[in-house]
Structure 1
Amino acid sequence: MAHTVIDLFSGCGGMTAGFTAAGFRPVLAVEHNLHAAATYAANFGLSHTVCADIATVSDVPSADVVIGGPPCQGFSNLGSRDVDDPRNQLWKQYLRVVCAARPAVFVVENVDRFLASSEFALLVAEADRLGYTLSSGTLLAADFGVPQRRKRAFVIGSRIGPIPLPVGSVPWVGVGDAFGDLPERPPTTRLPLSTVEVFGTRVPGRFKSLDLHLGRNPTALSLERYRHIPPGGGRFDLPDHLLPRCWREKKTGTTDVMGRMRWDQPSLTIRTEFYKPEKGQYLHPRWDRPITHLEAARLQTFPDTFEWCGSKIEIARQIGNAVPVRLAHALATHVRDYL
């Protein structure tokens, strides 16, 4: 029988995609954002998907593993460690579900500075009280075959003996391997006009992956800027007459903005506004345009069979916030070996 998994703060389901590929069966997913929950349900089933504030979820099944990335805001507040700080409520809700489901293992994902936060210190104490032994550290997605240099913190809690974090030893993959087969010119700038009813509401969707190969209509000035950026370069390669005032006056920092990827190297971290070159290193390594939603999804190693719900902006958020599927699969196979 397949091991069971609960995904909290599931987003569109990057973690679940990796765990189901490793043979796990999802029995509950909780996501507050309607469009992300709709995407999750489109790919993994509606019956176990709950679109709600996690604090309202009381019907929790047992499961072998609980996974998820509770948002945490108080990373820099290392002083008071107040257990009643409202910023701590989301990780406390995560552990509330862990307490109810009594999994053998739980996995928490977050930004790397989480490990230096007051929330993490509180989580360690509470997990110990519940009988879990913790291992924690950062993982670089590129070490697990993801074409992206994405670093994230992971915590593995176990009631069946210590489980160390997996060690990535896969050769790095370049972005060209991820989306080199896609055409230079995206066929459209718009998603298809289709909707689906889910959770009693109609949302845009369900879109196939090729529907996400969406172009933009950059201005002549933007195109001129793109042409000056070499692979691996960025805003510092622009001549003065093409620099906006804010960049002309800021001589240091934000080195990745207006950046161009390298064909044979992983990308930098894909965030939620990857379609805006002024936000990061998001220019295609060969063409004078930002990467498309489909190209970003491939950098997050979502399979082309994945389906999406939401507007262009909502889907971009889902892609940028997800755990890369290939990294999640490595975690799943690693945890499975200990169950």
Structure 2
Amino acid sequence: MPVNQVKNTNNQEKTIPTFKLVDFFCGAGGMSCGFSQAGVKILGGIDIEKQFEKTYLKNHKGAKFINKDITKYQPEDLQNKLKIKKFDNELIFIGCSPCQYWSKINTLKHKSSYSSNLIGDFQRFIKYFMPGYVVVENVPGLLNAKNNHTLLGFLDFLVFNGYKYEYKIIRTDQYGVPQRRKRFVLIASRISDKISFPEPLDDENLTVRNYIGEHNGFSKIPDGHIDLTDFNHSTSHLSPLNKRRIEITPKDGGTRKAWKDDEELQIDAYRGKGKDDIFKTIYGRLYWDKPASTITTRFIATSCGRFAHPEEDRGLSLREGATLQTFPVTYKFIGGLVSVAKQIGNAVPPEMARRIAVSIINS
């Protein structure tokens, strides 16, 4: 792919690099989507889960999907597969490894120990290829975990190999995403010391109202609706009991406190004095004029968080969740209801990724 030529202020030709990306732990391609929007060529994505392949390839023409376990995959195999070179200054490696081990909501650490050192496996590929840029995205717990040497070891590795880096905990609602979500992000470069994050911006327009609803092209639908078009405005079916609960829950931000004294509707785990504020967002409705809650892999279930529609008596649809994640409406998701919800919830919001990509390009 040829580089671009432009004139600088002295009327001399200046070469603008053609950046290219390998997306490790790519999932359905949130990072790849954002970087592609910024003009970066997507070479391929790597993920252990086969269910992401069709979605990834559908939306990233010309890229390859490598369905491999990163702990067993070898850099030489990746080199042969994608025809990439060592010490390529225009090559970007992204590593957004599964974060169950570091997540504050996970209480069974032994079940997610597989994800505890995937950064170390990502490091093997960096050492072999020495790309120009490296990006890591994960949960804030990666930085805060007690007695954890994984991140410190990775940072020492970067410095030893000539990379300069910056990292911080960012709020996605300051990076163009209508969603309350904090993430750990690291940007490292072997070729530039002008590493900077996009400027965080407070934007009052990042509200649910400005992204979903009839006025944004989302028709009113019942729970259990199945949309067979690429728009995928499909919703999960509600049990009769949950249907009654959501019908009673006040519009625009209401919570389960509205039916806490109803013997039939109240949930056993929340009965009794002092339990009203335990997981109080469960069964709650989104607010129209605030950012959404963090879109998780289970955002289609009203019982898993503040995921009920602000006005309609149902949970969020797949496309509504994708839109709140900032996926473009043209992004096509392939799979069943639960699989696509996982693809959307696991993804890095593309708009946040796009802004990170722009900051790298500008460096």
TM-score, normalised relative to structure 1: 0.86
Q: Quick check: 1:234–1:259 contact (8 Å CA) kept in 2?
A: yes
What is the match of residue 225 of structure 2? Answer: 189
- Aligned partners of 2:168 and 2:66: how far apart in 1? 30
Cα distance in 1 for residues equivalent to 2:223 and 2:98: 36
1:107 is paired with a residue of what secondary structure?
Answer: strand
Take 1:185 and 1:270, find their aligned partners in 2: how far apart are those partners?
Answer: 20
Equivalent residue in structure 1 for 2:29, among 8, 13, 23? 13
Cα deviations across residues 134-172 of structure 1 (Å, max 9, x unaligned)? 211111111122111111110111222151322221513
Give the distance between the partners of 1:258 and 1:188, measured in 2 at CA.
Answer: 17
Greater C-alpha Rg: 2
Q: What pairs up with 1:165-180 in 2 under 5 angstroms?
A: 165-172=197-204, 173-180=206-213
Alignment check: 8 A CA contact 2:32 2:42 kept: yes
Query: In structure 2, what is the equivalent of residue 293 of structure 1?
Result: 318
Trace 1:180-329 onto structure 2 (pairs within 5 A).
180=213, 181=216, 182-185=218-221, 189-190=225-226, 192=228, 208=230, 210=231, 212-230=232-250, 231-241=252-262, 242-249=265-272, 250-329=275-354
Taking the aligned partners of 2:199 and 2:98, their CA distance within structure 1 comes to 25
Identity of aligned residues (%): 29
* CA positional deviation for 1:187: 9.4
Q: Name 1:38's counterpart in structure 2.
A: 54
Query: Contact between 2:100 and 2:115, CA under 8 Å: does it hold in 1?
Result: yes
> Aligned Cα RMSD in Å?
2.1
Q: Which runs of 5+ in 2 are unaligned?
A: 4-17, 104-112
Q: Is the 8 A contact 2:223 2:315 kept in 1?
A: no
- Cα distance change of structure 1 residues 213 and 73 upon mapping to structure 2, 3 Å threshold: closer
More displaced, 142-151 or 242-251?
Answer: 242-251
1:168-210 C-alpha deviation (Å, 9 max, x unpaired): 2151311121112311115963464xxxxxxxxxxxxxx62x1
Identify the range of structure 1 (18-27 vs 158-167) with the bigger mean alpha-carbon deviation.
Answer: 158-167
Native 8 Å contact 1:175 1:299 kept in 2 = yes
Match of 1:139 among 170, 177, 195: 170
Summarize the Cα distance change of 1:228–1:331 in structure 2 as closer, same or farther, 3 Å threshold: same
- Which moves more between the two structures, 218-227 or 326-335? 218-227
Check whether the contact 2:43–2:62 (CA below 8 A) recurs between aligned residues.
Answer: no
Q: Distance in 1 between matches of 2:184 and 2:326?
A: 19
Asked if structure 2 preserves the Cα contact closer than 8 Å seen for 1:284 and 1:290, the reply is: yes
TM (normalized to structure 2)? 0.81
Q: Which of these residues, 150, 153, 156, is aligned with residue 125 of structure 1?
A: 156
| Counterpart mapping for 1:24-173 below 5 A | 24-45=40-61, 47-54=63-70, 55-57=72-74, 58-60=77-79, 61-62=84-85, 64-72=91-99, 74-75=101-102, 88-117=116-145, 118=148, 119-159=150-190, 160-172=192-204, 173=206
Distance change (3 Å), C-alpha of 1:237 and 1:127: farther
Contact 1:300–1:319 (CA under 8 A) maintained in structure 2: yes
C-alpha distance in structure 2 between counterparts of 1:87 and 1:171, whole Å: 34
Runs of 4+ in 1 over 6 A off after TM superposition: none
Alignment length, in residue pairs?
314
